[in-house]
Amino acid sequence: MLAALINGRVLTEHGMAQDCAVVIEGDRIAALCDQNDIPPAARRHDLAGRTLLPGFIDIQVNGGGGVLFGDDPTVDTLARIARAHAKFGTTGFLPTLISGTLEQLERAISAVDAAMAAGIPGILGIHIEGPFLNPARKGIHDATNFRDLDLDALEIVTSFKRGKTLVTLAPERTKPEMIAALVAAGIVVSAGHSDATCSEVRVALDRGLTGFTHLFNAMSPLRAREPGMVGAALDDGSSWCGIIVDGHHVDPVALRLALAAKGSEKLMLVTDAMPSVGADTKSFMLQGRRISVADGICRAPDGTLAGSDLDMASAFRNAIRMMRVDLASASQMASRNPAAYLGIDDRIGSIAVGKQASFVLIDEKFAVSEVWIDGRMQW
């Protein structure tokens, strides 16, 4: 069945197009054409002058819709999380498992595999955030779950084949050879929850590390005589940095400094979302601790930040306001960059012929009006 999205502004790979119709066939973009050239058989859908962007891609989603992935890693849980985030423009995401046991990791991988097999919209793979982390930078993670990345763990981490696997680890807590082994198995490796020196990070980058998890947070800071992980991340021109743009995790000045160092081409908007996103209840349990949400901030009883109450639509708007970027740059950080980081930008992340028909339609105030995933309107 053919459909044509008409009468909107369309952000294509070549810039904003004013009189462009997007023709969808099945789950793919069949054509970008003049509105006079739309196939007669196509059902027309009026965008009413609003702006069509590539769907947002979030590589760090712990939960949403009142549920936490790690608490109950099932297809039903993943479906609830997907629905909760879809209304905020997220058309692709990585369910993220906070540090647990290897048994919990196996269950989580199995659940994501089953959810993808069942066709739950938007799931791209899994993000394994720990347990190969440094207790000195544990953040909200339970350090009793931390362990070395040994051969048993490596076998489990590399077992998922249906989608992408992203692993966050502390480089100083494993051997460079293990990072290389992960990369050789097709795993995307990110550094985070780490107290690594700049030189230790450099070794990891040379072995295949390509990203940094929630830049500035839970990592060794930039200092004059020891640049730490933050300095290594900002100095390296080829790696990618996820960044939480909620105004709480990172000060706007630091956001703009990261932008100046990395450019919009190497930053990715992430939410680190918790169950409160898309839910009425603003508190939840995390590994035995009550997390309270107030003023958009998730905190443990001791005041530790515990993920975020952020959604991708808000991150997109915040980037425009706090980082002082234009709409196209914010879209790049929300869509094309995470797709490129995961190595799947040949099929998602931008509006181009042959790619998946996943879009977010926004109005003049950047509020989400419609969301399409794989050719179907989801919200």
User: Which residues are part of the catalytic machinery?
Assistant: 272
Is residue 242 classed as helix, strand or coil in its secondary structure? strand
Pairing label, strands 2-6, 43-46: parallel
Q: Using only the alpha carbons of the chain, give its radius of gyration.
A: 20
| Burial category of 74 from C-beta neighbours within 10 Å (exposed 0-12, middle 13-18, buried 19 and up) | middle
Rounded to whole angstroms, the Cα distance separating 94 from 101 reads 19
Q: Would you state the structure tokens that stand for residue 9, as one six-digit string?
A: 């502004």
DSSP-assigned states of every residue in 202-236: HHHHHTT--EESSTTTTBPPP-SS--HHHHHHHH-
DSSP-assigned states of every residue in 252-297: HHHHHHHHHHH-TTSEEEE--B-TTTT-S--EEEETTEEEEEETTE
